[in-house]
Structure 1
Amino acid sequence: MLKNFTTATEENQANINNWKTRPFNRWSFHHVKKFIPSIAIANDIHHQNLLENAPVSIKGFILKQLLKATATDAIVILHKGKIVYETYANGNDEHTPHILMSATKAVVGLVAGILEHKGEIDLNAPVSAYIPQTIGTVYQQVTLRQLLDMRAGIILDEDQQKQYDVATNWEPIAEGNEPLGLHDFFTRLKPSGKSTDHNFSYVSANTDLLGWAIECATGRSFNTLLSDLIWKPMGAENEAYITVDKDGAPRCTGGLCTTARDFARIGQLIINGGMHNSTEIIPPSLINDIVSNGDGDAWASGQWGKAFAPISKNMSYRNGWYMINDEPQMMFAMGIYGQNLFIDRANDMVIAKFSSWKEPIDYIALPLTHQLVKIVRSSLMI
């Protein structure tokens, strides 16, 4: 078990002003709903896919050093569908929902793809086809596909970014400022004259807008959709939740909070071709689309191509998922402060890892996390 850093001081002093900063994030990342309004994503207590434990030795000393160096709060490693390694720190345990940050986008991407497969949404349609209020805004002609793949060609200027941050309900509202919700932000977002090409360009607001479009297209709340399409049918062990803005709109870009085990179940579901028992939950065609149809050139020429080159020069991004296209091919979800889900389909390996890094992007912890994945793989493949 990793050392427990949680103290009464961190618990008592964590609030909306400091919840993302060290040391408070060690406690706040698994107590988000205590200070940010949230709504539940129900599981089915009568249908739980309980994972079997089958512990194995994974280069113990090296692994423990890497877990410590990457400020790990929780890690669950599955091999062939069984838990081969699991450990927790900082007050987390197997039933503790931890915030996913931007790894949320990958889950939203699955929901969007399932809905497209069902014919309930057209991802090639412009945002304004589902949200008429965006007519006349910077997002009017952007398609849902471009939002999903971070190729919308949108750049928020400094003032717009500040307005967006407050609208998410994740930041304190300065005295005298008007409280805005996410829908308010998007409908007031007039073109600023700034734009980019349609290579990969990461704008978190894109996925929040996508969440609104999904709700408009289906007439259902996002938390209900996630519950009915994935959470219940895959046999989630615990209820999850997602943060909402002042008007109840979900933070689809980063607000999902779930246990490490349930996050790992999503990975195993993908390895199993989208099937749980005899039920198809994720269409195999969606998994193949994510794996095969990301644009490598758009990634390499985009915002993060050079930054990720030391990890891989052969990457792509599709439906909120990152693809490393080297052998063995790996798909992963990633969020700031060290939230990850790694899926190695060739070797039937899943790693769900939650962390509380000191900085949103830790350029030491990031490559160490990928090194950890390689060490785990080599241990399991012996």
Structure 2
Amino acid sequence: MPAETSLPPDAASGATLANWRVPPFSRWAFQHVDELIATARIAKAPDDVWRLPDAPRSFDDFSVRAQGGETLDFAGFLDATATDALVIIQDGAIVCETYANGMTAQTPHIIMSASKSITGLIAGILADRSTLDLEAEVTTVLPEIAGTAYAGATLRQMLDMRTGIVLDIEATRDYAAAAGWDALAPDQPASDLKSFYQNLAIKPQPHGGSFRYASANTDLLGWAIERASGHRFAELVSELLWRPLGAEQPASITLDRGGLARTTGGFSMTARDFARLGQLLQGGGARDGRPVVPPAWVDDLWRNGDRAAWKTGEWQKLFPYRRMSYRGGWYVVDDEPAMMFAMGIHGQNLFVDPTHRLVIAKLSSQGTPVDTAAWAVTHRALPEIRRCLGG
């Protein structure tokens, strides 16, 4: 049975748009996003759950070094990285499942920028069906933004974070206001993402260069996907991914004031279903041999990321000793053992390790958006988890 702990009472009261990403309120808010922000429901198939058997394994001899030098056991690692939920799958079975801060196996949790990885899977499915041309310039799909810095950027460049988009202070403030995740300042008019993009007035820069992370790329890609497909994003995720995946619970995605999905960071789901996504990629895009994500798309993620773009990009210093790329919304590690992962602020992670037939889904409520100490110890824990599982 999964372990559970209760939520501190002060975290479940007083959460608002002004504080929902700050402890202690975040511990409650990350599990109750739909009570703070408008969301769209992502329906599951009612009678087609992908069953994952339980095969518990011991982590009693787990040991990892924390950033300060102290040694952490498994419980200490979970606490040090503010873990709300952890589900580990090996060989298609759940070998570890644990919850904290009031979360259960049925509780949804926001996955923040790991959402970009799911948006990438939807883009891949649509590209395989010739509904979406990833080599097309975004302005051919959305002519409304032809006069902005996005002119000349392709959907592929947006998907791989290789546009020249750099938001200045004013544009960053406007983007945050448009997304609907923050309380508006007294002098800020209500806005939405479509208006933000149409009125974006930053200096144009060349597209197609080094990796440059811009969350605005993926929200714009979501709008382009809706336009090209003729369907709302939540509907697409349900029909193309969530139902065929065999998700156990519905998911959701936040919406801006105009009803556009926040495809860069707005997904919420259970830890088990997050892990099922990893298991899908572990199987080459298939569930029990039935393709859900095109195998060619999964192969493209592994093989076709631009290593030079990553090496000269702004995040190479965070993984200085890794040969990596960023492709289709996924971080890909070429070093042995090869690994693919999705990552979001405040400690959201999904790791896929085909060599060890391993998937690790970790949902957290870390106090700062980027906690480098927690980030480092999480990645140091991966080989220790493999060791405990005999890898």
Shift of 1:3: 7.4
Deviations 1:35-65 (A, max 9, x none): 1110100001111112110001124552222
Instruction: Look up the match of 1:321.
Output: 330
Shift of 1:361: 0.6
**TM-score, structure 2 length as denominator?**
0.94
Worse overlay, 372-381 or 5-14: 5-14
Instruction: Summarize the alignment of residues 10-21 of structure 1 with structure 2, pairs less than 5 Å apart.
Output: 10-21=11-22
Instruction: Look up the match of 2:38.
Output: 37
Which amino acid counterpart does residue 131 of structure 1 have in structure 2? L
User: Is the 8 Å Cα contact of residues 155 and 196 (structure 1) preserved in structure 2?
Assistant: no
CA distance in 2, matches of 1:193, 1:320: 23
Instruction: Summarize the alignment of residues 147-158 of structure 1 with structure 2, pairs less than 5 Å apart.
Output: 147-158=158-169
Worse overlay, 52-61 or 128-137: 52-61
Instruction: Look up the match of 1:83.
Output: 94
Determine helix, strand or coil for the equivalent of 1:83.
strand
Q: CA RMSD in A?
A: 1.4
Q: Which runs of 5+ in 2 are unaligned?
A: 63-72
User: Is the 8 Å Cα contact of residues 10 and 24 (structure 2) preserved in structure 1?
Assistant: no
CA distance in 2, matches of 1:232, 1:380: 31
Determine helix, strand or coil for the equivalent of 2:343.
strand
CA distance in 2, matches of 1:292, 1:193: 30
Give the fraction of aligned pairs with identical amino acids, expressed as a percent.
45
2:116 is the counterpart of 1:105: yes
2:371 is the counterpart of 1:362: yes
Instruction: Look up the match of 2:353.
Output: 344
Shift of 1:22: 1.2
Determine helix, strand or coil for the equivalent of 2:245.
coil
Deviations 1:249-291 (A, max 9, x none): 0000000000010010011111112112342101111011001
**TM-score, structure 1 length as denominator?**
0.97
CA distance in 2, matches of 1:137, 1:220: 25
Instruction: Look up the match of 2:308.
Output: 297
CA distance in 1, matches of 2:148, 2:358: 43
Instruction: Look up the match of 2:283.
Output: 272
User: Is the 8 Å Cα contact of residues 146 and 152 (structure 1) preserved in structure 2?
Assistant: yes
User: Is the 8 Å Cα contact of residues 49 and 237 (structure 1) preserved in structure 2?
Assistant: yes
Instruction: Look up the match of 2:179.
Output: 168
Deviations 1:175-222 (A, max 9, x none): 242111000000111342566871000000000000000000000011
Moved over 4 A (4+): 193-197
Deviations 1:290-347 (A, max 9, x none): 01111111111101011221xx421110011001110010000000000000000111
User: Is the 8 Å Cα contact of residues 300 and 313 (structure 1) preserved in structure 2?
Assistant: no
Shift of 1:153: 1.1
Structure 1 residues 47, 166: CA separation in 2 closer, same or farther (over 3 Å shift)? same
CA distance in 2, matches of 1:265, 1:193: 40
CA distance in 2, matches of 1:196, 1:133: 19
User: Is the 8 Å Cα contact of residues 157 and 192 (structure 1) preserved in structure 2?
Assistant: no
User: Is the 8 Å Cα contact of residues 166 and 180 (structure 1) preserved in structure 2?
Assistant: yes
CA distance in 1, matches of 2:352, 2:288: 19
Q: Which runs of 5+ in 1 are unaligned?
A: none
Structure 1 residues 130, 49: CA separation in 2 closer, same or farther (over 3 Å shift)? same
2:210 is the counterpart of 1:199: yes
